[in-house]
Chain A
Amino acid sequence: AQTVTQSQPEMSVQEAETVTLSCTYDTSENNYYLFWYKQPPSRQMILVIRQEAYKQQNATENRFSVNFQKAAKSFSLKISDSQLGDTAMYFCAFGGGSEKLVFGKGMKLTVNP
């Protein structure tokens, strides 16, 4: 069974600074996807970025980028130039051969002005 671990329950960062959110996972599958989802307070969960395991190049989406280390089973999210609107719960998720996504417990990020 797949597991996803987010060991940092909460972080804060000053506006305009850079922050890195960590995630590790465990799987025996070789082909899979990894995702970061953002869940703002009382809002729906939205996809921030995703990484295909067979692609060596790290995914980037504007201010968001990942550091994917397949051998180490590590998948961290870097947010550059943090904005107040980045305040949210962030969930790391695994998607393999099964249809379901497996989520970590989440991390609460607060961006301070």
Chain B
Amino acid sequence: DTGVSQNPRHKITKRGQNVTFRCDPISEHNRLYWYRQTLGQGPEFLTYFQNEAQLEKSRLLSDRFSAERPKGSFSTLEIQRTEQGDSAMYLCASSRYIRTGLSSGNTIYFGEGSWLTVV
């Protein structure tokens, strides 16, 4: 078990550029989540996948954001035409969904996050 892996860990980009983050979940975890965390705040939910299907997107995920999980394994989060307000840490997490009781009871495991600074 190598844990949830995210890269790059840090990215500095100029406003208007596109950036892409990758997440490799724990193997055999069928659910994958993206959260965003800004300084002084807790993580905020962006979206999640079950296998390759994107099942929920937060209203925080504007049209400039797109997430994919093409083969149900790794996922990418792309931000187009970055703005300074996009500066944050983007957290990926994964879980093994077991259909008993509330799905929120399944333990989710976080990666170390990808820091984005837009200058």
Chain A contact residues, CB within 8 Å of chain B:
4, 31-33, 37, 42-47, 50, 52, 91, 93, 95-106
Contact = CB atoms under 8 A, between A and B. Distances in A.
A46 B110 contact: yes
B105 interface: yes
B113 A44 contact: yes
B104 A44 contact: no
A42 B110 CA distance: 13
Nearest to A9: B40
B65 interface: no
A112 B55 CA distance: 44
Interface string B39-78: 0111111001000000110100000000000000000000
Interface centre among A33, A96, A97 (most CB of B within 10 A): A33
A47 B105 CA distance: 12
B104 A99 contact: yes
B108 interface: yes
B45 to A, nearest CB: 4
Contacts of A52: 105
Contact of B43 (A46, A47, A50, A103): A103
Which bracket fits the contact residues of B?
A: 20 to 34
A32 B105 CA distance: 8
B56 A45 contact: no
Contacts of A98: 56, 104
20 contacts: A31-B102, A33-B102, A33-B104, A44-B112, A47-B107, A47-B108, A50-B105, A52-B105, A91-B42, A95-B105, A96-B104, A99-B48, A99-B56, A99-B104, A100-B56, A101-B104, A101-B108, A102-B45, A103-B44, A104-B42
B58 A100 contact: yes
A99 B103 contact: yes
B79 interface: no
Nearest to B97: A99
A50 B108 CA distance: 12
Interface in B14-62: 31, 33, 40-45, 48, 55-56, 58
Contacts of A97: 102, 104
